[in-house]
Amino acid sequence: MDIEAYIRRFAAPPAAEIAALVAAARPRRLDTGQDFCALGQERHELAFVHEGILRYYVVRADGEEATKDFSFAGSFAVSYGSAVSGRPAEVAIAAVTPCRLDVWPFASVARLNERHPEWQTFLRRVAEMLYVRKERREIAFLLDDAATRYRAMLRDFPQAADIPQHYLASYLGIRPQSLSRIKKAVSA
């Protein structure tokens, strides 16, 4: 999915507005493991993922990384909470696989609201979609066992086969060994 198609799923800004956004993008490639947004980074950026998988993560007090989420080709990526509040990034974003992105300074994209009301619609609908997704995940942690969460992840992330098992296990809130047992039981 390209940028225009993604935007049009949620709103209908004028074609010239979308063209201006696309023209302002700067291409960037990331190698596996390379950060798009490092913890503590103060320069906030928004990316559209054309190819690859990005992982959102935090680092716990014990130094272990905990996977919060993923972004896949055909979607936007940003350390949103930190970007909108103007704080250094509290959630890092790194490439799980090689990525091809289009990137904008977050502040320039945030100003789209002022240019046309359809951008407000777009941003609100994307925020609503992300909120519902986040709420579904929180509810799953409260109500579902790990095997049920794994099956839901496979349904929601068809690209899961391209993600290293330790990232998937972290996303599910379990150890990699537990994920191995669940995968065997689910495929049996």
pLDDT above 90 (res 44): yes
Q: How do the residues of the chain divide into helix, strand and coil, expressed in percent and rounded to 5? A: 50, 25, 25
pLDDT tens digits, 52-86: 999 999 999 999 999 999 999 999 999 988 988 99
Indicate whether 153 belongs to any domain.
Answer: no
Indicate whether 63 belongs to any domain.
Answer: yes
pLDDT tens digits, 77-136: 999 889 889 999 999 999 999 999 999 999 888 788 788 889 889 888 888 988 998 999
β-sheet bridge partners, residue 46 = 104
pLDDT tens digits, 140-173: 999 999 999 999 999 988 888 899 999 999 999 9
CA distance 108 to 50: 20
Please report the pLDDT score of residue 102 as a whole number.
97
Here the CATH number for the domain that contains residue 87 is 2.60.120.10
CA distance 100 to 48: 9
Total domains present in the chain: 1
**Residue 109's domain spans which residues?**
3-115
Indicate whether 145 belongs to any domain.
Answer: no
Report how far apart, in Å, the C-alpha atoms of 137 and of each of 35, 67, 128 are: 24, 13, 14
Please report the pLDDT score of residue 32 as a whole number.
97
